[in-house]
């Protein structure tokens, strides 16, 4: 596995590879967990070269958010990526992606302003801009995203469609820990007690999914099951299909999760 931090070097490394085989890209912010590894696996199984980016994108964090304390462990990530069969790890620093004078942004419109976008103004502008840059730098045939961030996947899908980007998106199911909590780098912030409290989130989404199947409104059912957890939002949205989405606060940690309502299993 090659680890590269400069755009120019990455382009040089990928150009001959692109002629030989297709490139699969997995954009990440690092602190790898089984959710990330499932995307690396999917990319590897498609054949071709597997490129993974690690970039904690300052443009998608609000001023009062967790950019400074977001978990970072590049050594461990590099080991896990290598073991997962990743070919190229792209780890640019913030100046490489946003050099002095950078001032061009992707405006994602309404889809980027509701729910997660309402709670985190400019979040999806940052996400879309960095994804567009990564797509242009890596020029992958396929890019892999997790259903865990359902609105993000929907925003990126809309950008690919609206801007005629020449790549396929592959959105993979949410990977959960044995207790049902969706894997997230932010789970590391939770104390043992908070982690137990956080289990009300997947339980509420499942209860909502079951209610929907019975023909009931999933939102009040899920809200009741959330109990003492404070929800930033709990709502049904059309993110490639009807999706029950929620963001909750557990102590100082903000967690998001969702289930598709039109699918057999929660993912
Ligand atoms: P992140 O590093 O949190 O920005 O996530 C990088 C990619 O991994 C995004 O496409 C996420 O949606 C995806 N991802 C994060 N957590 C999970 C999970 N539990 N299951 C599946 N994909 C995930």
Residue 147: both structure tokens together? 């259903």
Ligand 1 pocket by Cβ (under 6 Å) = 28-29, 35-36, 38-39, 145-146, 148-149, 172, 174-175, 182-185
3-state secondary structure of 92: coil
Distance CA 185, CA 51 (A): 20
Domains of the chain (ranges; CATH) run 2-172 (3.40.50.620), 185-258 (3.30.1300.10)
- What pLDDT score does 200 carry? 98
Q: What is the pLDDT of the chain when averaged over all its residues?
A: 97
CB contact set of 12 (below 8 Å; sequence gap of 6+): none
Q: Count of alpha carbons within 13 Å of 86, Cβ hemisphere only?
A: 28
Give nearest CA residue, ligand 1 atom 11: 146
Kindly state the helix (H) or strand (E) to which residue 137 belongs, with its residue range: helix 123-138
* pLDDT beyond 50 at 45: yes
- What pLDDT score does 263 carry? 81
Q: What is the pairing mode between strands 253-260 and 49-54? A: unpaired
Give nearest CA residue, ligand 1 atom 5: 28
Q: What is the pLDDT of residues 172-197, one digit of tens each?
A: 999 999 999 999 999 999 999 999 99
Please tell me the distance between residue 58's alpha carbon and the centre of ligand 1 in angstroms. Answer: 17
Q: What is the pairing mode between strands 253-260 and 242-250? A: antiparallel
Asked about 36 being catalytic, the answer comes back as yes
Distance CA 238, CA 128 (A): 19
Pair 111, 155: CB distance under 8 Å: yes
Q: What is the pLDDT of residues 233-259, one digit of tens each?
A: 999 999 999 999 999 999 999 999 999
Distance CA 96, CA 255 (A): 29
Catalytic residue among 7, 14, 32, 36: 36
* pLDDT beyond 60 at 266: no
Distance CA 10, CA 78 (A): 16
């Amino acid at each position: 596995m090659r680890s590269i931090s400069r755009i120019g070097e990455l382009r040089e490394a990928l150009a001959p590879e692109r002629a030989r085989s297709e490139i699969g890209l997995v954009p990440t912010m690092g602190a790898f967990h089984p959710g990330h590894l499932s995307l690396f696996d999917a990319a590897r199984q498609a054949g071709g070269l597997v490129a993974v980016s690690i970039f904690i994108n300052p443009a998608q964090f609000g001023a009062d958010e967790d950019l400074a304390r977001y978990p970072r462990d590049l050594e461990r990530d590099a080991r896990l990526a290598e073991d997962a069969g990743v070919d190229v790890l792209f780890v640019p620093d913030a100046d490489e992606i946003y050099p002095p004078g950078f001032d061009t942004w992707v405006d994602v419109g309404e889809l980027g302003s509701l729910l997660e976008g309402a709670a985190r103004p400019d979040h999806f502008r940052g996400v879309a801009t960095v994804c567009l840059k990564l797509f242009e730098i890596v020029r992958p045939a396929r890019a892999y995203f997790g259903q865990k961030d359902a609105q993000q996947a929907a925003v990126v899908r809309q950008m690919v469609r609206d801007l005629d980007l020449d790549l396929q998106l592959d959105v993979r199911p949410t990977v959960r820990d044995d207790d049902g909590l969706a894997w997230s780098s932010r789970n590391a912030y939770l104390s043992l007690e908070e982690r137990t409290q956080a289990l009300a989130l997947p339980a509420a989404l499942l209860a909502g999914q079951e209610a929907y199947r019975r023909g009931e409104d999933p939102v009040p059912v899920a809200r009741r099951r959330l109990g003492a957890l404070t929800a930033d939002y709990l709502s049904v949205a059309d993110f490639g299909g009807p999706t029950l989405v929620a963001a909750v606060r557990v102590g100082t940690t903000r967690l998001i999760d969702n289930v598709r309502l039109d699918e057999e299993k929660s993912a």
